[in-house]
Amino acid sequence: MRKRGLYFVTFLMVILLLSNLSISEEKILKIPRLTSPPKIDGILENPVWEQEALKIEDFVQFAPKEKGVPSEKTVAYLGYDQKNLYIAIRCYDSEPQKIRASITNRDNLFDDDWVVIFLDTFNEKRRAFEFFINPVGVQGDAIRTEEGGNENESDSWDTAFYTDGKINEEGYTIEMALPFKSIRFPDKENKVWNICIGRNIPRKGEIIVWPSMSREIPGLIVQGREILIQGEVEKGKNLEVMPLITSLKTQDKKVDFQPGVNLKYGVSSDITLDFTLNPDFSHIEADAPQIDINQRFALYYSEKRPFFLEGMEIFQFPEIEMVYTRRIINPFLGAKLTGKVGRLTYGFLSAYDLNPTESLWEVHNGGDSRDDNALFNIFRMKTDVFQESYLGFSMADKEIDGSYNRVAGVDGQFKFKNKYFFSFQALASKTKSGEEDTSAAPALYGNFLYYTKHWVAGVNWKAIHPDFEASSGFVNRVDYKRMGAFTSFRTFPEKKYLNVVYFNLSAGNMNAYNENIMTDKWAEAEVNFEFTQFSRLYVSFQNYMERYGGINFHKNSFTLNGSTNLIGWLPFEFYFRTGDNISYDSDDPFLGWSNTYGVFLNFKPSNRLQMGFDLSKNTFYEERGGKQLWDYNVIRQRTTYQISKTLSLRAIIDYNHYYKKIYNSFLVSYILRPGTVFFLGVDSNFLQDEAGSYARTGYSVFIKFSYWWRI
């Protein structure tokens, strides 16, 4: 009976895969080659736009009303020459005085009016470069991936392109020149790419798109339009050199002067080699404070370092994160090869770390003080199969003083008929520490998802062996088998300030890996109100059983969180959770009561000045209404003044009430383009003494200068 079931499932998967191999009948749009390059000044006066470029006018609403008529007209123009792809967009607006346009630093424009271009240069319908431009030409860029029914954006990716924008009595216009050298694409004479264009009108909560898109299909990239660029263009075969100099003066220490260099070589238009020697991996901005008291597992901190960020979408996985580059604390040198040839995508990363750590808890603190060094080697390969699906292989090795951790495995994601998604991951690790070593320890994951416009449902399974270890990744819990399921019903009122309502139900349980002992069990009900695309409210109730210290604790909690950008001068988010919680830090764990609050707002008194305020607060009681055991408050105040698009001033104050610490930071930034930067910063730390006074415990003054040459 089991074999028959397996045969049936296999047969069904084959039929679904083959039925997904349909070829689009939609005509490919040919992009014209322009006779002369337009000047990028944000003013669409050059006749080349109207006379030679491809003109696109059939924009439609995506929100609030799918495929509805936009309240404002949008017209786009596309063309190219040997060096650049050119895009201009005319955004009509009946109330131009209400257009939101901040003069701000790069990637900080998302509360403004903006336009966005998605470029899927490999036409794989899963990954695209994103380019954002606001009405005064401020840029944003990102990498977007859509795999396994999930969408992910990394706005830390940066490349060089040229933009400008102007507000006028009819609305605003933007122009963009994207050098072909700045992106990767197949080395072919006839280049078939996939493109989407969008426009955001935040005061109306309106998203306008081209081509027409449907919520029946998950993802945006897959619904793009194919374009054709014919003939030779300036390919990405180039050498980029970025020398850098840093100087750091800390309290009671001499000035530390460090030169370094970053190199990038375009082996071809779709293969890139990166190399770095003695890089500056100090954070220009410290990690945002998190509540770190009473935590059972290590916290996650995002990667911010440019060398690791570029091309890291290749190292993404369905679930188990076997590559977490924050574990490479202080590399002296590093090399990375990433690219895509035909159906094959691959990446190789190698780094020599001078200050390694074996503990995830130490990542945020900068590693251990130890004499030995670590060598990381990470390999990733993915091959496209069928349409919008892939199979992958990965391997990671960390060597340190005769010990090692090695992880290898396969993974894949399959998409059938735009409704069914199946993803899996199978890994095994082997670790040697001193004279001890483990046998191969597995980690497995599988997920099946069904997606329609009004109904989404899924089941998943995950198991991690007690001896599994990923010293190059982020796995903060082992020794369990987990099974879960969820379903979501969605309705679309498509009103101006009520786009979507979600009703979600989920449940699952976890058992110890080798024992028939249930360690966790949960059920959750949630209602989500999407007022506009960027204004939402979530309400949820959770019932949870968690086994800790040999005791089964039964917990109930209520959560409320939301966000909005409808108020142009005060976009904000908030979070509130109340309910039962376990005291993990106690020698005798018990079930208490906790409240967690979060408020995150950004006051904008002018288009150049922004004043952010973040508050995270956690209170814990012996029982509901009982004695308070702690009150943990973390506050961050961030003020930024943008003198010009390239020059800014920034001040940060972090206050941790629980540890009685204050952190101050002042930074002058000049960013001409990615890689050509100058930073001058002063940081200081203060600690409250027993008398209640704050005394400075340390300070630092740093300078960084780097210059980007494209040869």
DSSP per-residue letters across 253-284: S--EEEEEEEEEEEEETTEEEEEEES-----S
Within 10 A of 95 (CB to CB), how many other CB atoms are there? 10
Arithmetic mean of pLDDT over the chain: 89
User: Do residues 610 and 639 touch, judged by C-beta distance below 8 A?
Assistant: yes
259: phi then psi, degrees, rounded to nearest 5: -90, 160
pLDDT of residue 283: 53
pLDDT of residue 572: 95
Share of the chain above pLDDT 90, in %: 66
With the CA atoms of 520, 526, 532 and 534 taken in that order, what torsion angle do they form, in degrees rounded to the nearest 10?
Answer: -20
pLDDT band at residue 5 under the 50/70/90 scheme = very low
Choose among 130, 126, 41, 123: nearest CA to 88: 41
pLDDT band at residue 509 under the 50/70/90 scheme = very high
Tokens 């260099």 appear where?
Answer: 261
pLDDT at 426 over 50: yes
User: Do residues 261 and 241 touch, judged by C-beta distance below 8 A?
Assistant: yes
Q: Read off the pLDDT of residues 457-490 as tens digits, 9 standing for 90 and up.
A: 999 999 999 999 999 999 999 999 999 999 999 9
Distance of CA 446 to the CA centre of its chain: 23
Q: What angle do CA 610, 616, 622 make, to 5 degrees?
A: 165
DSSP 8-state assignment for residue 328: -
Q: Read off the pLDDT of residues 172-197 as tens digits, 9 standing for 90 and up.
A: 999 999 999 889 898 888 999 999 99
Six token digits for residue 313: 């979408």
Query: What Å distances lie between residue 75 and 87, 307, 309, 405, CA to CA?
Result: 11, 37, 34, 55
pLDDT band at residue 111 under the 50/70/90 scheme = very high
pLDDT at 598 over 50: yes
Six token digits for residue 676: 């050509």
pLDDT band at residue 301 under the 50/70/90 scheme = confident
Q: Read off the pLDDT of residues 559-592 as tens digits, 9 standing for 90 and up.
A: 999 999 999 999 999 999 999 999 997 678 999 9
pLDDT at 8 over 70: no
| 7 sits in which H/E element | helix 2-19
Six token digits for residue 601: 């707002």
User: Do residues 161 and 128 touch, judged by C-beta distance below 8 A?
Assistant: no
pLDDT band at residue 281 under the 50/70/90 scheme = low
**How far apart are alpha carbons 240 and 265 in whole angstroms?**
6
**What number is the average pLDDT over the span 524-542?**
96
User: Within a 13 Å sphere around the CA of 558, how many CA atoms are in the beta-carbon half?
Assistant: 1
pLDDT band at residue 250 under the 50/70/90 scheme = confident
pLDDT at 198 over 60: yes
Residues in a beta bridge with 52? none
DSSP 8-state assignment for residue 710: E
Instruction: Provide the whole-model pTM.
Output: 0.88
pLDDT band at residue 4 under the 50/70/90 scheme = very low
Q: How far apart are the first and last CA of the chain?
A: 65
46: phi then psi, degrees, rounded to nearest 5: -65, 125
**What number is the average pLDDT over the span 506-533?**
95
pLDDT of residue 355: 85
| 651 sits in which H/E element | strand 647-656
Instruction: List domains and CATH numbers for the chain.
Output: 27-230 (2.60.40.1190)
With the CA atoms of 177, 182, 186 and 191 taken in that order, what torsion angle do they form, in degrees rounded to the nearest 10?
Answer: 0
pLDDT at 18 over 80: no
**How far apart are alpha carbons 554 and 546 in whole angstroms?**
7
**How far apart are alpha carbons 387 and 164 in whole angstroms?**
37
In sequence order, which residues have a C-beta less than 8 Å from that of residue 548 and are 6 or more positions away?
296, 582, 584, 589
Six token digits for residue 364: 């945020």
**What number is the average pLDDT over the span 232-238?**
75
**How far apart are alpha carbons 318 and 443 in whole angstroms?**
13
**How far apart are alpha carbons 109 and 176 in whole angstroms?**
16
**What number is the average pLDDT over the span 80-87?**
96
**What number is the average pLDDT over the span 548-552?**
92
Exposed / middle / buried, residue 390 (Cβ in 10 Å: 0-12, 13-18, 19+): buried
Choose among 389, 420, 386: nearest CA to 21: 386
Q: Is 612 helix (H, G, I), strand (E, B) or coil?
A: strand
pLDDT of residue 605: 95
Q: Is 498 helix (H, G, I), strand (E, B) or coil?
A: strand
